[in-house]
């Protein structure tokens, strides 16, 4: 027997789905360590704050002075951050990297953003790492370079450009 839903039932079920998405979001914000830092519920070594971002020192730094730039809104990864917020995040990353280099005398810095568990993201609230770098500081962001087989690079280029 075919079950047909009335228009009102479809609307009601969509509403329920929407509500449960909203409550899932609320729960993840309540439990989110960076949201709690934004709200001032957990202390941090804050170095900068404005209406869209907060920046504080990473509690387990790759090098001393390692800073995080965290969006004040709860977005899980880069892909959820609205463009206007992202522009602000990147401009503040530049400001902080410059200040850090003046203060610590580092000759370089790495900007790292882990997006998703597979990429090593531990805290599911979007953030950028700025890590001061010194000669022979023992830190390694090296990876093993892989090789494409014949024509494979064109296949990958084609696959990705189809979505752009």
Positions marked active-site? 127
Q: Which residue has the tokens 């387990």?
A: 60
For residues 156 and 151, give the distance between their C-alpha atoms in angstroms, rounded to a whole number.
9
- Token code pair at residue 139: 């830190």
Measured from the CB atom, the residue of 12 and 119 that comes closer to ligand AMP is 119
Measured from the CB atom, the residue of 18 and 54 that comes closer to ligand AMP is 54
Q: Under the criterion CB under 5 A, does residue 127 sit at the interface with Zn ion?
A: no
Sign of CA dihedral 23, 119, 80, 57: positive
Q: Which does 35 bind (CB under 5 to 8 A by kind): Zn ion, ligand AMP, none?
A: Zn ion
Q: Which does 139 bind (CB under 5 to 8 A by kind): Zn ion, ligand AMP, none?
A: none
Q: Under the criterion CB under 6 A, does residue 78 sit at the interface with ligand AMP?
A: no
Q: Beta strand 53-57 with 127-133: parallel, antiparallel or unpaired? A: unpaired
Task: Identify the DSSP state of 73.
Answer: S
Mask for 26-65, x = binds ligand AMP (CB under 6 A): -------x--------x-x-----------x-xxx-----
For residues 153 and 124, give the distance between their C-alpha atoms in angstroms, rounded to a whole number.
32
Site residues (CB under 6 A) for ligand AMP?
33, 42, 44, 56, 58-60, 114, 120-123
């Amino acid at each position: 027997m075919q079950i047909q839903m009335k228009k009102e039932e479809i609307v009601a079920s969509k509403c329920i789905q929407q509500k449960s998405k909203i409550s899932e979001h609320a729960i993840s914000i309540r439990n989110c360590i960076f949201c709690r830092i934004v709200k001032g519920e957990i202390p941090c070594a804050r170095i900068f704050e404005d209406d869209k971002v907060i920046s504080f020192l990473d509690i387990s730094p790759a090098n001393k002075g390692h800073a995080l730039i965290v969006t004040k809104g709860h977005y899980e990864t880069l892909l959820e951050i609205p463009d206007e917020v992202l522009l602000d995040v990147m401009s503040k990353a530049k400001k902080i990297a410059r200040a850090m280099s003046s203060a610590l005398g580092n000759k370089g810095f790495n900007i790292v953003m882990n997006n998703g568990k597979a990429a090593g993201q531990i805290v599911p609230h979007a953030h950028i790492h700025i890590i001061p770098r010194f000669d022979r500081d023992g830190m390694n962001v090296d990876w093993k370079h892989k090789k494409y087989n014949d024509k494979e690079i064109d296949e990958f280029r084609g696959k990705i450009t189809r979505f752009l």
